[in-house]
Structure 1
Amino acid sequence: MANFSTHLKASIITSAPLSSIVLATHISTLSESLLLFFIGALSGLLPDLDSDNSTSIQWLFSILGFFLSGSVILLCPLSSLVEMWIVGITIYAFTLYAIKPIFEKLTVHRGTLHSILAVIMFAIIGIILSLLMQQSLNMSLLVGVAIIIGALTHLILDECYSVDLANNTLKSSFGTAMKLIDLRYPLTTFMQVLFVSAAIFYLYPYHTEINSVIILWQVQLDTLTIIPPFMSQWWR
């Protein structure tokens, strides 16, 4: 299993191309691209919210608390400095002292959070939270994409660490890091399925607009210039 530092570095590396592409194609603004970069980088830590390591989970929820506080302060109009402080401290404290203990009691490391279903759940949560914070549908969907890229990077990296290349063998942990669903824990898996289904139902009224946004992305991506014109002759 890759450690905390490796996961963070890997998600930073995979989030950078996304933020640069959406900026270069004008799918997002500079500030939005920077925010997407940070969201993608931190999303690479999401599957370890069920970590058995007390230090890791403390770091993860501290970062999550700061991130949620900063996001709300940046995205929601607040009238005064004192109001910003109160909101930021409240969200941080709630994340660390209310949400964290619940996760510690209900989750098992490399359980249901290390699954494709959990990645989808994280992404949908990001999309809905962005919409609730009055973000555009375009930005909300980009948040979902950034979360998927970051979280999938984590799962793929853990699976890569389950392969012993030196001895050409698979470690006992192989297959536990990246799976579609985790049938070992039917209750939490069912809760994830229920949440995802409810979230999809909530987002259903946006389906026409979502299709339009995706089509616009395709059009914008077609305009992306990967190789500078003066270098293109080298590839002929």
Structure 2
Amino acid sequence: MANFSTHITASTVSSAMLGTTLLASHIVTMSESFLLILIGALSGLLPDLDADDSTSIGWLFSILGCVLAGGFVATYPLSSLLSVWLCAGGIYGLVWFLVKPIFESITVHRGSLHSILAVLMFTLLGCVCALQLGTTLSFSLLVALFVFFGSLVHLLLDECYSVDLANNRIKSSFGSAMKIIDIRYPFIALSQLGLVGAGYYYLYQHYTQIPTVVVNWYEKLMQLTIVPSF
């Protein structure tokens, strides 16, 4: 399979191409484009959350700890600098020393997270979280698009690395990275299906607005000049 450097490079480059296209089409602002590129780049690491010794899981849980700590401090203003440091450090430590080991113990690499179902789950969770944070429907759908794109690039890379072109053979790992669903772990698969269903249900109230948003994107993309005229 592809290593950490390959995954982060591929997801960053592909997300940058998509983000700059949206920026040039005036669908997003400069800051929104940068944020979407960052989301897409990090989403390229999501399928490796089940790898206990990977660099990806360290990065993602470090970021999760920082985001949760910062979110808590921003939501619940504290009276002193010391209390801010203690609460932020405590939340980060909880994520790193408790949540991360528990997550590692219940996941298997190239298991349920290396599947199309997991990509859909990540995509819907990204959209729902963005909506919960008060972003517009258009931006929330773009978050979902970048999460989907970044995660899918990861799976495609792993499948490509399962083919040995030099020796004209297919490795035994072929097919394990991009399966539809992992039925070896039925409880996890059912949990993923439940989260996907919950995400679709949450978005149901926006179904009539989504086509309008997509049409607006299409109209702006059609006005994009790709090659300069001389």
TM norm structure 2: 0.89
CA offsets per residue over residues 195-233 of structure 1, 9 Å max, x none? 100111111011111121111111111111110112xxx
**Alignment of 1:206 onto 2:211:** no
| 1:147 aligned partner | 147
1:87-166 correspondence runs (5 A): 89=89, 92-166=92-166
Helix, strand or coil: the match of 2:40? helix
CA offsets per residue over residues 116-141 of structure 1, 9 Å max, x none? 11011111111111111111111111
Shift of 1:98: 4.0
Amino acid at match of 1:52: D
CA offsets per residue over residues 89-112 of structure 1, 9 Å max, x none? 565444323431231122110000
- How many angstroms apart in 2 are the aligned matches of 1:84 and 1:209? 41
Deviates more, 1:80-89 or 1:143-152: 80-89
Q: 1:88 to 1:184 in 2, by over 3 A?
A: same
Could you tell me whether the CA contact under 8 Å between 1:78 and 1:84 is conserved in 2? no
1:32-111 correspondence runs (5 A): 32-53=32-53, 56-66=56-66, 72=71, 89=89, 92-111=92-111
**Alignment of 1:180 onto 2:180:** yes
- How many angstroms apart in 2 are the aligned matches of 1:153 and 1:91? 31
| 2:169 aligned partner | 169
| 1:234 aligned partner | none
Amino acid at match of 2:34: L
- How many angstroms apart in 2 are the aligned matches of 1:174 and 1:32? 37
CA offsets per residue over residues 172-191 of structure 1, 9 Å max, x none? 00000111111111110011
Shift of 1:85: 6.4
| 1:233 aligned partner | none
Amino acid at match of 2:99: I
Q: 1:94 to 1:218 in 2, by over 3 A?
A: farther
- How many angstroms apart in 2 are the aligned matches of 1:151 and 1:5? 15
Q: 1:163 to 1:199 in 2, by over 3 A?
A: same
Q: 1:121 to 1:164 in 2, by over 3 A?
A: same
- How many angstroms apart in 1 are the aligned matches of 2:133 and 2:22? 21
Q: Which runs of 5+ in 1 are unaligned?
A: 231-236
Q: Which runs of 5+ in 2 are unaligned?
A: none
- How many angstroms apart in 2 are the aligned matches of 1:214 and 1:85? 43
| 1:189 aligned partner | 189
Q: 1:227 to 1:68 in 2, by over 3 A?
A: farther
Could you tell me whether the CA contact under 8 Å between 1:112 and 1:118 is conserved in 2? yes
Amino acid at match of 1:182: D
- How many angstroms apart in 2 are the aligned matches of 1:224 and 1:10? 24
Could you tell me whether the CA contact under 8 Å between 2:48 and 2:54 is conserved in 1? no
Q: 1:214 to 1:84 in 2, by over 3 A?
A: farther
| 2:217 aligned partner | 217
Could you tell me whether the CA contact under 8 Å between 1:39 and 1:143 is conserved in 2? yes
- How many angstroms apart in 2 are the aligned matches of 1:209 and 1:87? 40
Amino acid at match of 1:152: L
Q: 1:64 to 1:77 in 2, by over 3 A?
A: closer
User: Percent same amino acid at aligned positions?
Assistant: 54
Amino acid at match of 1:21: T
